[in-house]
Homo-oligomer: A and B are copies of this chain.
Amino acid sequence: MYRSHTCGELNAAHINSEVTLAGWVQKSRAKGFMTWVDLRDRYGITQLIFDSERTDATVFEKANTLGREFVIQVRGRVIERESKNPNMATGDIEILVSELTVLNAALTPPFTIEDNTDGGEDIRMKYRYIDIRRNPVKESLIFRHKVSMAVRNYLSEKGFCEIETPYLIKSTPEGARDFVVPSRMNPGQFYALPQSPQTFKQLLMVGGMDKYFQIVKCFRDEDLRADRQPEFTQIDCEMAFVEQEDILDTFEGLTRHLLKEIKGIEVDKFPRMTYDHAMKTYGNDKPDIRFGMEFGELNSVAQHKDFGVFNLAELVVGIAAPGCGEMTRKEIDALIEWVKRPQIGASGMIYVKCNEDETFKSSVDKFFDQEDLKKWSEVTGAKAGDMIFVLSGKADKVRAQLSALRMELATRLGLRKPEEFAPLWVVDFPLLEFDEESGRYHAMHHPFTSPKPEDMALLETDPGKVRANAYDMVLNGNEIGGGSIRIHDKETQALMFKYLGFTEEEARNQFGFLMDAFQFGAPPHGGLAFGLDRLTAILGGQETIRDFIAFPKNNSGRDVMIDAPSIIHDEQLKELNIRLETAK
C-alpha cells in the first residue's frame, strides 16, 4: 500500500501519529522557511508542511519543485495546525513531512482542478480524466453510484431479480433508428443494439420470473438534441400478475425510498393526473407542479367582443405570472419577442396587468372592459400585483407555446427550486398518435402497450381516442419514467400490429417469437423504465445529465477523448463482408 490513510480522514485524534499519504498536489505555497502543499485524493485534502528547520534539506528542496497535479507519496508526523480551518475535515492538523517520493510528475493541467474551472466544455471533454478530478464531476459520479445501489437494494428486497438481457439482438424498423453490428459468422446479417430490453423482459414474464429489473445500457441512433446521448442507462422493470395500480404503487414506493434515502426528503403520496388534464392545465404531459401558474381557458370570457384574433382562435388561454404586475413595457415587449421566436412560434401575446387597487390595465383595453378582465383574472387565478399573459390559436400549438412561457417565467422567477421535489403520475395516455408525415397512426408508447379494455371498440371508429394503460412518472417537469400494462395475448397483439400498419408477414418476421410466446401461457404483465441519467441529474439538483456520465459523447456522437468513432482496417471490413459506400 502506498498509504496508511487517505487524504480525508486525519484529524486531531491522530496527532503525533506517523502516517503515509499519497495523492495529487492541489497547490503549494512557499513563505520564507516554510512550504505548504495541499495533497488531494478522492476523499479530501490534507495540508503538508515542509519546514526548512525541521525537514531534511533534500526533502525540502524537492518539495519546492512540485508542480500542480504531481502524484506524490509522503511520510510524516501528524501535528496540530497553527491556523485551523474549520471548513475542512482535516483542518485541525497538518503533516510535517519527513520523506517525499514523486510517484509521477505532471504536465500543467489544461484547466484548473477547481469547482469552478476555467476550462470550457470541449477541453474538459477531451481531458475528461482530468475533469473527473474536479469535485462537481467526481461527486456526481459517486452520487450516481449511490442512486444505483439504492435502486438495486430496494428492488432486490422487494423480490425483484436483476436479469441481464442480451446486447446483440435483432433490428426492428419500428421506433427509433437502431445501431447495428455486422456479424462475421453470419455474413450479410446484422445484430442490433437494444433500444430497450422490452421484448426480453416480457419474455421473462412469460418465463415466470415474476419480478424483473435491470440497470442496463440502451442505444438509439438519433440525431442528438442537446443533453441526449446515443447510449443511455435505464432502470428497466417488469412484473407479472399485476394491474396498473400495482405498478404505480411499487415504483412510487421506489421513488419515495430514493428521495428519503438519497435526499432525506419525505414526499406525500404522488398526485395522479390524466394526460388530458395535464395537457389542458399545463400544456404539457410532464408538468412541473412545484409551482402553480395553471392554465385558464378564456374562450367563454374572451370571444364575445370584437377582437378578431381571439374570435378566430380555437383556444384562448392565459396564465397569471405571480408578482409580475410591475414589469416594464420594455420587459413585456422582450417577453413577447421571446414567445414569437421560431422555437416557440406564437404570433403575438396579450397581457393584463392586475393593479393593486383591483383595476386592470391590458394591451386589449380597446376591446375588453374591466369586468371582462376581472373574469380573466378569476379564470387564471391572478391576484393583485400579477400579470396575466394570454395566447390564442390552434389548441395543440397554443398549449405548447404557453407551456414554454410558463416554464421560462418560472425559471426567471426562481420557482423551479432544485432542492424541491414534486413527483406525480400522468396516466391514461392515448394509445396512438397520428403522424402527419406517414399519414398513419403510431404507437405513442410502443406496440406492446395494452389499450384500456373499455376503449377497445373505439379502435375501429376513432383510434385517436383510445386510451392506453400507460403512465409516466414526472418529476419537476421531467419525464423520469414511463411504462404500461402490456398486451399478453396473441390476438390483441396481432390486431395492434395491424392497426399500426404492419403486414401479417412483417409482424411475423419481426415479432413472431413474442406472439408465439403469448400462446404458451403468458401471464398478464406490465412494467416501466426509468431514465437513470436524467433521474440522477434531477435528484442531484442539476439540469444537465453530462456530469453524471463518466465519459459522455458530444452532440455528434463522438467521444473526443479517445477519438471514436474512427476508421477501421480494410481487413476488418472484409471479414465482416461489408464495404464503405463511398469507397471506389
Contact = CB atoms under 8 A, between A and B. Distances in A.
B243 A170 contact: no
B170 A582 contact: no
A518 B107 CA distance: 10
A521 interface: yes
A426 to B, nearest CB: 22
A327 interface: no
A89 interface: no
Interface in A526-569: 549-551, 553, 556-559, 561-569
A3 B241 contact: yes
Interface in A446-482: none
Most interface-central of A40, A177, A224 (chain B CB within 10 A): A177
A69 interface: yes
Contact of A165 (B517, B550, B572): B550
Contact of A129 (B148, B188, B203, B557): B203
- For A161, A164, A522, which residue has the most chain B Cβ atoms within 10 angstroms? A164
Nearest to A217: B167
Contact of A168 (B171, B230, B241): B230
> Which one of A104, A242, A243, A246 has the greatest number of beta carbons of chain B within 10 Å?
A104
A199 B581 CA distance: 32
A75 B290 CA distance: 44
A127 interface: yes
Contact of A581 (B24, B109, B207, B577): B577
B129 A559 contact: no
Contacts of A553: 166, 168
Given A565-B186, A578-B580, A130 B207 contact: yes
A14 to B, nearest CB: 19
Size range of the chain A interface in the assembly? 35 or more
Interface in A216-271: 217, 219, 221, 223-224, 230-231, 233, 241-243, 246
A516 to B, nearest CB: 8
A347 interface: no
Contacts of A521: 24, 69-71, 104-106, 109, 130
Given A553-B168, A581-B577, A567 B190 contact: yes
Contacts of A2: 241-243, 523-524
Interface in A332-375: none
A185 interface: yes
Contact of A166 (B141, B153, B193, B559): B559
B579 A180 contact: no
B1 A243 contact: yes
Contacts of A445: none
Contacts of A149: 152-153, 156, 162
Contacts of A200: 550-551
A132 to B, nearest CB: 3
Interface in A492-530: 513, 516-524
A231 B168 contact: yes
Contacts of A190: 565-568
Contacts of A199: 562
**What copy number does this chain have within its complex?**
2
Interface string A53-85: 000000000000000011101000000000000
A576 interface: yes
A99 interface: no
A292 interface: no
B556 A186 contact: yes
Contacts of A71: 521-523
A42 interface: yes
Contacts of A43: 210
A146 B263 CA distance: 27
A437 B250 CA distance: 58
Interface in A111-154: 127-133, 138, 141-142, 144-145, 148-149, 152-153
A176 to B, nearest CB: 12
Given A179-B181, A578-B578, A138 B561 contact: no
A189 interface: yes
A544 to B, nearest CB: 17
B163 A565 contact: no
Given A177-B184, A521-B106, A169 B217 contact: no
A3 B575 CA distance: 54
A133 B208 contact: yes
Contacts of A581: 573-574, 577-579
B41 A208 contact: yes
A486 interface: no
A274 interface: no
Contacts of A441: none
A420 to B, nearest CB: 28
Contacts of A1: 241-243, 246
Contacts of A127: 516, 520
Contact of A186 (B145, B204, B523, B558): B558
A524 B3 CA distance: 12
A126 to B, nearest CB: 9
Contacts of A132: 204, 207-209
A421 B74 CA distance: 41
A513 B133 CA distance: 17
Contact of A565 (B170, B206, B518, B580): B170
Given A104-B488, A168-B559, 13 more contacts: A104-B521, A128-B207, A167-B167, A168-B564, A170-B562, A179-B181, A181-B181, A182-B578, A188-B580, A577-B580, A577-B581, A577-B582, A578-B581
